[in-house]
A and B are shown apart, each in its own frame.
Chain A
Amino acid sequence: MTLVKEAPVRPAKKRSAAPVAGRRGRRRENLAGYLFMSPWIAGFLLLTAGPMIASLYYAFTRYNLFTPPEWVGFDNFTTMFQDPRWQKSVEVTLKYVVVATPLKLLLALGVALLLAQKRRGQGLYRAAFYMPSLIGASVSVGFVWRALFSDDAIVDRTQKIFGVDVGGWIGNPDYVLYSLVALSIWQFGAPMVIFLAGLKQVPQELYEAAEMDGAGPLRRFWNITLPMISPVLFFNVLLESIHAFQVFGSAYVVSDTRCGPADATLVYTCYLYQKGFKEAQMGFASAMAWSLVVAVALVTAVLFWSQKKWVHYEEAAK
């Protein structure tokens, strides 16, 4: 409080305390900053910004790699919207995102709540649950999945014991997508760890106070835990749904390299790969890529808009 009268002097004093003062020093800092991040700047220009402009251009051309791109206006987009396989790929991807993301996050939250209790062996459990997140993306696990879900293999036979017969998984256009969903849910470790870190930050006093007021476990979860971890929940929803939109490897490996019987696992990126790299329709594929960017941007925007309604930020507490 006694420092108040000094306050106006302090900012100026602080700046002059730096060893190199004034405009020259600032210029030197600028130079150092740009030198240190020159790899990123080069990468951003050559591998991100440049390609983005190029692909925007390709999206309006017919381009097969061998002859120069030919401007066609909105042709790629109109063909795309009328293409039944494109429509199918949108349908398959949306189904995948809408089913896999909530189930994965639900399981991640459930296990995180379980592991948030202080018990012996907590670290071991946490590590074991996290492992699938790291190996799940490999072709190896794709093969394992294919073997587990093959028609008349373990999953199929086990469920028949319980009297459920869906008529196979991998070979069945109605169910093959759900084997991919299962593979995605299996990798719940990463969001689980993030939930767990969020749960650790909830102040214990809140629970104690609520318990004294006679709130049961369900009430405490709904009124304390959920609002307190809502920023983390938001982050997980955002990241997981964006990832889900871009699924490729599992659809390519688990079903088959053409993405499924009867296009049943023709996820968006799989069709993009087929159009671009199998049929050399680079213009069409670029139009597809930009539509994906728009879709992801829309989802991100909607999520950010909606967070005002359900995400609690404890700014005052910081």
Chain B
Amino acid sequence: MTTVSTPAMRTANERRRAGSIAWHVGALAVLAVVLYPVIWVLGASFKPSKDIIASIDLLPSKPVWANFSGLADGISGISIGSFFLNSLTYAGLAVAGVVISSSLTAYAFAKIRFAGRNLLFTLMIGTLLLPYHVLLIPQYVMFRKLELVDTLVPLVAGKFLATEAFFVFLMVQFMRGLPRELDEAAKLDGCGHLRTYWSIVLPLCRPALITSAIFTFINAWNDFMGPLIYLNTPEKYTVSLGLMMFRDQEGISNYGSMIAMSLVALVPVIAFFMAFQRYLIDGMATSGLK
């Protein structure tokens, strides 16, 4: 742009570039520390079992496939695929439940003026802060009496009944942000609430729905305490429990396969994260702002 550059301009430019380099160096340094465990597990999965704890190298000196091929044998007679299928079923049902029940509830809070709405909304928000553990024992007793222990019902029932207040809250926030004129116009055109919900609000809420779906999937995939308490037949175990079983049976002797399976178990989460990180991060940010 300029043909003449004064020394003052040059130093200002230089200073800006130096600042930029310093910023990137700083950010990359923090990033290296943060991502170290992820890179380490990638490298470790190709190391022979005896090197995983003992070797200080990040990457294997001679990569081996044995850890992954060892997974084909399964864990005490149960194939790895079975654990994955169970986790997938759990996560799939959880996603369906949360998306349907939370969006209906959120619509009521955001778009319908009914008596007692504010009180119920406060109660709903209050459940966000309630430690889950106070419900753990009576819920277990209840599901035991209903003979539903060792099924997926106790794990997903709450998802179909909108007990995950975080998602209801997220969707309420989103629906309140939609222009009022839209649903007022729909009302004047004679749309009932069901119609307005289904054809106007729901399509516009897609970002909030996707965010909730992905969070739910990842939470269900990572869930540990739920399956630990409710599932007792190894054939019904999710990936988390499969991993624990692996550790208890094989111990240190088969560290390689354990690390390999840890990595494989992380793949769906990381894949989902990479595909939808924008939604997840924005969803998290909105939750803190209002």
Contacts of A285 in B (CB 8 A): 137
**In the complex, which residue of chain A has the Cβ closest to the Cβ of B274?**
A127
**Interface residue? B265 (CB, 8 A):** yes
A30-B115, A147-B53 given as contacts; is B229 within 8 A of A277 (CB)?
yes
Which of B62-70, B73-81, B204-212, B216-224 is found at the contact surface with chain A? Answer: B216-224
Q: In the bound complex, do residue B26 and residue A114 qualify as a contact, i.e. CB atoms below 8 Å apart?
A: yes
Which of A97-105, A137-145, A203-211, A218-226 is found at the contact surface with chain B? Answer: A137-145
Which of B1-9, B88-96, B121-129 is found at the contact surface with chain A? Answer: B121-129
Q: In the bound complex, do residue B288 and residue A44 qualify as a contact, i.e. CB atoms below 8 Å apart?
A: no
Whole-angstrom distance between the alpha carbons of A33 and B107 in the complex? 9
A32-B114, A130-B281 given as contacts; is B139 within 8 A of A47 (CB)?
yes
Contacts of B221 in A (CB 8 A): 138
Q: In the bound complex, do residue B243 and residue A47 qualify as a contact, i.e. CB atoms below 8 Å apart?
A: no
Q: In the bound complex, do residue A147 and residue B56 qualify as a contact, i.e. CB atoms below 8 Å apart?
A: no
Q: In the bound complex, do residue B225 and residue A296 qualify as a contact, i.e. CB atoms below 8 Å apart?
A: no
Contacts of B163 in A (CB 8 A): 40, 43-44, 47-48
Whole-angstrom distance between the alpha carbons of A19 and B30 in the complex? 59
**Interface residue? B202 (CB, 8 A):** no
Interface residues in B258-290 by Cβ distance below 8 A to A read 258-259, 262-263, 265-266, 269-270, 273, 277-278, 280-281, 284-289
Q: In the bound complex, do residue A144 and residue B37 qualify as a contact, i.e. CB atoms below 8 Å apart?
A: yes
Contacts of A140 in B (CB 8 A): 41, 243, 262-263, 265-266
Q: In the bound complex, do residue A246 and residue B269 qualify as a contact, i.e. CB atoms below 8 Å apart?
A: no
Whole-angstrom distance between the alpha carbons of A232 and B219 in the complex? 24
Which of A2-10, A72-80, A148-156, A258-266 is found at the contact surface with chain B? Answer: A148-156
Contacts of B259 in A (CB 8 A): 143-144, 147
Q: In the bound complex, do residue B288 and residue A36 qualify as a contact, i.e. CB atoms below 8 Å apart?
A: no
Q: In the bound complex, do residue A300 and residue B129 qualify as a contact, i.e. CB atoms below 8 Å apart?
A: yes
**Interface residue? B18 (CB, 8 A):** no
Q: In the bound complex, do residue A272 and residue B127 qualify as a contact, i.e. CB atoms below 8 Å apart?
A: no
**In the complex, which residue of chain A has the Cβ closest to the Cβ of B44?**
A147
B127-144 vs A: 1/0 string, CB under 8 Å? 101111111111111101
Q: Is the interface of A mostly helix, strand, loop or mixed?
A: helix
Contacts of B38 in A (CB 8 A): 131-132, 135
**In the complex, which residue of chain B has the Cβ closest to the Cβ of A34?**
B114
Whole-angstrom distance between the alpha carbons of A113 and B17 in the complex? 19
**Interface residue? B197 (CB, 8 A):** yes
A44-B163, A276-B137 given as contacts; is B40 within 8 A of A125 (CB)?
no
Whole-angstrom distance between the alpha carbons of A55 and B141 in the complex? 10
Whole-angstrom distance between the alpha carbons of A126 and B280 in the complex? 12
Whole-angstrom distance between the alpha carbons of A134 and B219 in the complex? 8
Out of B134, B187, B269, name the residue touching A55 (CB < 8 Å). Answer: B134
Out of B52, B133, B135, name the residue touching A272 (CB < 8 Å). Answer: B133
The distance from the CB of A65 to the nearest CB of chain B, in whole angstroms, is: 7
Contacts of B112 in A (CB 8 A): 29, 32-33, 36
Beyond the given pairs A39-B100, A154-B56, A157-B56, 19 more chain A to chain B contacts, judged by CB atoms under 8 angstroms and listed by A's residue number, are A33-B114, A36-B105, A40-B105, A40-B124, A43-B101, A46-B161, A50-B142, A51-B139, A129-B31, A130-B284, A135-B38, A143-B258, A144-B37, A186-B34, A194-B288, A197-B289, A232-B288, A248-B224, A253-B224
Contact surface of A with B, Cβ cutoff 8 Å: 18-19, 26, 29-30, 32-34, 36-37, 39-40, 42-44, 46-48, 50-52, 54-55, 58, 65, 111, 114-115, 117, 119, 121, 123, 125-132, 134-135, 137-141, 143-145, 147-148, 150, 152-154, 157-158, 186, 190-191, 193-194, 196-198, 201, 232, 235-236, 242, 245-246, 248-249, 252-253, 257, 269, 272-273, 276-277, 282, 285-286, 288-290, 292-293, 296, 300
Q: Identify 30 residue pairs between A and B in the complex whose beta-carbon atoms are under 8 Å apart, listed by A's number.
A: A29-B113, A30-B115, A33-B115, A34-B108, A36-B112, A37-B104, A44-B123, A48-B130, A50-B138, A55-B137, A65-B144, A114-B23, A119-B23, A129-B34, A135-B38, A138-B269, A139-B240, A141-B266, A147-B52, A154-B56, A193-B288, A194-B289, A242-B129, A252-B228, A257-B244, A257-B248, A276-B140, A286-B137, A289-B134, A292-B131
